[in-house]
Amino acid sequence: MASSGAYKSRINITIVGDGFVGKSCLVAAFLQQDFLVDSPPTMIETHLVEMFVDGQDYILQIVDIGDSQKIAPDLFMETDCLVVCFSVDAINSYENVIFRWLPDVYSKCPMASLILVGTKLDLREGTPLPVASFQGLQLAKEIRANCYFECSAKFQVSIAQIFQAAVRTVVQKYNSGPGLERIKGEKNPTVYCTLL
């Protein structure tokens, strides 16, 4: 991993979560500003992209684990930030954050920053038993996530902000200063970041 002073110029982001929660759509919305209408099941995909955040250039290596049931230990070795996804229209994916994904995250990558993301925000209204915003916020606090976002890949809601926050949480960790940042001007009022 290349570094520049206190900042890391390359930041490795691993995206995990149940199959079909919209991980690949999230990545495509970020990289191509496009929505994947018919997204085929993904295995593991790695993308490199440059991003300018707070006056600094970074290279993001984004690893989308796709529909893999378990995460290979070597995927975590270089991870700086984990993005754990659930879909707001699928309560079981929300529950699996605790029961399936966090044991892997805590055991294999305890030092990485953690961002919790509720995907498919645009489907919440038509869902009989959706995951409410307060439940996402509650879970984020319970698992001590650095940030919580709700996003819509279809309508580009909070997509870039997720990756900006990933960069900022890693930079903050390397600068080791405490602070609280609330992201303003969002279409999504539940966005918050606690930079530890």
Confidence of residue 173 (pLDDT cuts 50, 70, 90): confident
Check whether 108 has a pLDDT greater than 60.
Answer: yes
Element spanning 15, H or E: strand 10-17
pLDDT in tens, 25-82: 999 999 998 777 666 666 788 999 999 999 999 999 999 887 665 666 777 778 999 9
Please tell me the distance from the alpha carbon of residue 184 to that of residue 192, in angstroms, as a whole number.
Answer: 9
**How far lies 139's CA from each of 30, 104, 118, 142, in Å?**
24, 17, 11, 5
Bridge partners for 114 per DSSP: 82
Task: Give me the mean pLDDT over the 171-192 stretch.
Answer: 52
Parse the chain into domains and list their residue ranges: 3-195
pLDDT in tens, 83-93: 999 999 999 99
Q: What is the pLDDT of residue 78?
A: 84
Check whether 184 has a pLDDT greater than 60.
Answer: no
CATH class of 3-195: alpha beta
User: What's this model's pTM, rounded to 2 decimal places?
Assistant: 0.85
3-state SS of 114-163 is: EEEEEECHHHCCCCCCCCCHHHHHHHHHHCCCCEEEECECCCCECHHHHH
pLDDT in tens, 118-141: 999 999 999 999 999 999 999 999
Please classify residue 54 by burial: count the beta carbons closer than 10 Å to its beta carbon, then call 0-12 exposed, 13-18 middle and 19+ buried: exposed
Q: Which of 138, 120, 98 is nearest to 188 (CA)?
A: 120
Task: Give me the mean pLDDT over the 174-194 stretch.
Answer: 47
Token pair listed for 62: 């984004």
**How far lies 7's CA from each of 57, 90, 167, 180, in Å?**
10, 37, 10, 19
Q: What is the pLDDT of residue 189?
A: 40
Provide, rounded to the nearest whole percent, the portion of the chain with pLDDT above 90: 61
Q: Is the dihedral of CA 84, 90, 91, 95 positive or negative?
A: negative
Q: What is the pLDDT of residue 190?
A: 44
E strand map for 37-112: 45-53, 56-64, 81-87
Residues 147, 24 contacting (CB under 8 angstroms): no
**How far lies 16's CA from each of 54, 88, 102, 149, 179, in Å?**
26, 15, 10, 15, 26
Task: Give me the mean pLDDT over the 104-116 stretch.
Answer: 88
